[in-house]
Structure 1
Amino acid sequence: MKFLYSLPPLAACAAALLLPAAVHAHGTMTTPPSRIYTCFLSGPETTTDPACVALKNANGTSPFYDWMSINQANANSNHQAVVPDGKLCSGNNAMFSGLDLPRSDWQATSISPAADGTYEFVFRGKAPHATKDWIFYISREGWSPTQPLRWSDLTEFCRLGNVPLNNGNYYLRCPLPQGSGRRVIYNVWQRSDSTEAFYTCIDVNLGNGTNPGWTDEGVLAAQAALPAGTEIRLRLFNAAGNDVETVSHTVAANQGGTGQWPFYFAQTVNAQSAFARIGVLANGAITPQQSATANHVYTRSSDNLSHQVEFRTPDTNLPPVVVLNASASSVSGAGSVNLSAAGSSDPEGAVLTYQWAVTSGSGASLSAATGVQTTLNLTAPAQAQTVVVRVTASDGVNSASKTVSITHQPAGGGGYDYVYPAGIGSYVPGQTVVLGSDGNRYRCKPFPEGGWCNVNSAAHYGPGTGVVWQDAWTRL
């Protein structure tokens, strides 16, 4: 088996998607997941969550990738002044305005307090900052997510001071308010080393104040399908970091889709684990769902456990993905075409080697038979032909090939020798005729002006279009 990745709680599957690096990265709530983090987990490019699709329609995919940056640089604790009513979830940041859309289908997480009446929120800190305060608000009883969120809808229920960053997370334990039903928890993080503050909307279903016996450890999100034979492990640890239990599940054929493997993995865990469950908590029961983002990992509250999800893929080797580009698709008379396979890649990241060959056509040769690039050199043909070149990429185990076809015509067959810029370097002053991009024919001027015809700069000498084309060409 090949080790794929091992992740801490809450990030269990999100790393399967490669993301652009954010320059000004700070953070968001991941337990329970914030509105923006829920949409990120649903897949920036492929989300089908209706509310997240609405966010994408409003702001594109950038907010998904920049989920850690809902901020106001000059807040300085004047939060109601810099974030007006109706713009709380976006922090009055236009890039995230879609988060303020009044909708009833923002995905909510069911939460309930521990035995002592508290709940531990987890804020993922992508960049640590000194803290003035963490402020938690909750929406009033009866508030509806179909209405714009206002400051008057919120009641403060917890305020914390500076909390140390622990393995990339801020752990924020607060007494959870009594009550039940759909609510928004609103968090403000004000820095003490800057006037900057961060704002987070968290959609929750609040329990009735009783302890259901389970602690929500966060979302089990599937952002990539898994091949058959992949082993998924749920590992549980006690407060000292010692292993308590490991449950393993192997992905069966046709059960590796993003909406499938979390469901079947959850079924295995729920049947075998003495300390954990995976699914959706409702009315005291935790039920697995066929969903990429709905399932949460729960551990028994009385045991104070943490978890980790690990993935191991079977030892398979996929063939390279070959990309072949040519500088021209047709040549008249003698000429050359630059060929490149630089866009090729290997799924496992192996270094590729390349082999080039002319498989069809006469009077054709390659400047190099190996390497990522080569040049196809063509002599003037006696009759029209198609020249085919093949490149084969190998990772040392598997290989894959791709071909390109070049139309090769006799010189003057179309009233011109080349389609510009093909053949640059071979133009004969006073003789060579080319077809320009404007559809007109041009003859290279006699020596010495004709020497400019072979300068490889279409911006300057492109016939009919370059800024000084008349120095080199005569329009026919």
Structure 2
Amino acid sequence: MNRIPFLRWMSRIVLLSPLVATSPAWSHGSMIIPESRVYNCFLNNPENPTDPACRAAKDLGGSQAFYDWNGVNQANANSNHQAVVPDGKLCSGNNPTFRGLDLARGDWQATSIAPRADGTFEFVFRGTAPHATKDWIFYVTRHGWSPTQPLRWADLFEFCRLGHVPLDGDRYRLRCPLPQLTGRHIVYTVWQRSDSTEAFYTCTDVEFTGGTNPTWTDAGPLTAQNALPVGTAISLRLFSAGGADVETTTHTLVAGQAAAADWPFFVAQTVNAQSTRARIGVIDAAGTVTPVRAANGNRVYTLASANLRHQVDIRLPDTNTPPTAVVSANPTSVTGAGDVALSGAGSSDPDGQALTFQWQIVAGAHATLTATTGAQSTLRLTAPAQDQTVTVQLTVSDGVATDSRTVAITHRKAGGGNVDYVYPAGIGNYVAGQTIVLGSDGQRYQCRPYPQGGWCNINSAYHYAPGTGTHWQDAWVRL
């Protein structure tokens, strides 16, 4: 809507009254281009607004809200905006001082805005007290939203999110791609601090002008931080708003293209020649995107009508050298039951990549591992009925290649002579005075004669396991 400059200057003169001193020092800012709802009322005579919507807001909540135009906040938001600001109270930020801003009316003064050639618009937020920023989030009302109904979160969709933006004097200049909308809408802005849980909220009434929509939307810079090896594959991936893959364009660097000042230019050339939905370079007033040969300066542009997101993937050439597995065991010979300490700590990777470890018993019985992953493990052996060799394999991986080594442990039976069973196998068939078993300690035990020998067949390792049970001597004789 058109505005009369004289009235604007008159409103500034009115603000010289002593009431200005009541504005609290802890207030922090609001949108001034385009003017937020509260800032517009502040500029149009807070004590006697000529604007009907501002007058209605004053009648409901008083004029103090206009003087406090830079304090629409929630102290404990902590990014939980929908939890602390309920439907119907978005413009006030659920702060009772500003409740007049929530009035659902169709006559709030709106500012006409239109995108630049690259599809962006520079919002300007006046920061009377700057703070460290977590994020700026921009929402806008959907098609079909009614200005005469209380504003709800469901009426909005996010169209821009920014992180740290440097302060320019007392202004934050926030460049965002504009959504493809026409007519009257509300732009809703959230400023979340990173040095506090406090957040600020702004309703801005706008009129999206018609006309030709821009072809390209500025999606962000393509910046080279350093040179890349020849053979590096750089891909521009495009995604739909829902995250589905839409298009991938890849350029592989050859000799003469790998310097930081060069590779963005050659990537841009390939994208501009092959992609139907993206361009990289510098855009002119006519909307033509041309690459520049520099580490900084090229920007990614996506098709405005497609509402796309993008990601740049950099895949270095495969020059991986496989790792070397080294395995040790201590001791390498065990008689009866015992433990063997296993270590793969001597394994290494020539490329300095972190290694993962996998242990496996590939031969032998009466053996278990306390751990199958990690650089260390323990081989736990129980007494065998016969001599054997237990073989353990270690496999190391750098995420691309693997290497394996084995270690053999000689495992001998203890006590000498033959046995009928390795305890507890065969319980129930032991003959009093005859049956000989091999205990878990590697010793041989004979079942006591009748009647004590009856305890041999009781399956209670805690009480009658030969050599280890609490009452083993009631049932067994050590040989």
Structure 2 length normalisation: TM-score? Answer: 0.41
Instruction: Identify the structure with bigger relative contact order (alpha carbons < 8 Å, sequence gap 6+).
Output: 1
- Which protein is bigger by CA-based radius of gyration? 2
